[in-house]
């Protein structure tokens, strides 16, 4: 009996064959790319913050993504919860890379050893004092790879949630309330009755 429980908890964590699922591999890939991107933030210094600088910046709050990714990785009960958390991570990351830290800013910090960000960090050099357009291009590609990995993770988690819902026999949109779902079935029934 004891080995059954041990195996069952192992199966719940890593799938029935002991291997990671597609979604879990994408979660780990996203986390790894996120760590590399945060290292890039620290080395560029203009988009860094506490605990590496003495001020709180959006970078500081972006470090909260790692507990959220761990929650998505280890959450087993509700597949829709995993998807929603992953979607929030994607939206926040994309918003930051569109409005706060553009690819041009990522490139300039390395290529010219000076931040092109407006404000207090304008002209701030990177920590390594390197002028390298190649590293600037790698930083931009890393940011794009992170975005692609997060999108793929969200799609995979959505497909997992839909498959789990079909397997449970409760296939319907999770955002519908019971009364909205009844109204939807009523309208669908009217359409079907007109076809007869």
Return the number of other C-beta atoms located less than 10 Å from residue 128's C-beta.
Answer: 13
Please report how the helices 22-44 and 65-74 are oriented relative to each other, as an axis angle in degrees rounded to 10. Answer: 170
CA 100 centroid distance within chain: 17
Distance CA 9, CA 186 (A): 42
- pTM metric for this prediction: 0.77
pLDDT, tens digit, for every residue of 148-191? 999 999 999 999 999 998 888 765 554 545 555 566 666 566 55
CA distances from 189 to 46, 179, 196 (A): 59, 15, 11
Predicted confidence band of residue 9 (pLDDT cuts 50, 70, 90): very low
**Whole-number pLDDT of residue 168:** 81
pLDDT, tens digit, for every residue of 26-54? 999 999 999 999 999 999 988 888 888 88
Buried b (16+ CB within 10 A) or exposed e, 10-22: eeeeeeeeeeeee
Mean pLDDT of the chain: 83
Of 62 and 178, more confident: 62
Q: Give the SS3 label for residue 12.
A: helix
**Whole-number pLDDT of residue 118:** 82
Domain extent listing, the chain: 2-195
């Amino acid at each position: 009996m004891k080995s059954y429980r041990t195996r069952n908890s192992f199966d719940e964590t890593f799938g029935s064959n002991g291997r990671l699922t597609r979604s879990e591999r994408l979660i780990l890939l996203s986390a790894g790319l996120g760590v590399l991107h945060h290292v890039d933030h620290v080395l560029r210094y203009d988009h860094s913050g506490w605990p590496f600088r003495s001020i709180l910046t959006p970078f500081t709050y972006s470090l909260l993504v790692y507990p959220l990714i761990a929650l998505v990785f280890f959450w087993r009960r509700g597949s829709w919860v995993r998807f929603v958390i992953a979607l929030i991570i994607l939206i926040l990351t994309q918003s930051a890379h569109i409005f706060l830290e553009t690819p041009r800013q990522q490139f300039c910090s390395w290529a010219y050893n000076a931040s092109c960000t407006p404000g207090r960090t304008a002209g701030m050099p990177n920590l390594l004092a390197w002028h390298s357009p190649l590293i600037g291009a790698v930083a931009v590609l890393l940011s794009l790879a992170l975005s692609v990995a997060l999108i793929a993770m969200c799609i995979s988690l959505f497909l997992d949630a839909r498959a789990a819902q079909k397997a449970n026999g409760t296939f319907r949109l999770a955002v519908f309330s019971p009364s909205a779902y009844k109204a939807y079935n009523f309208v669908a029934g009217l359409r079907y009755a007109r076809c007869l």
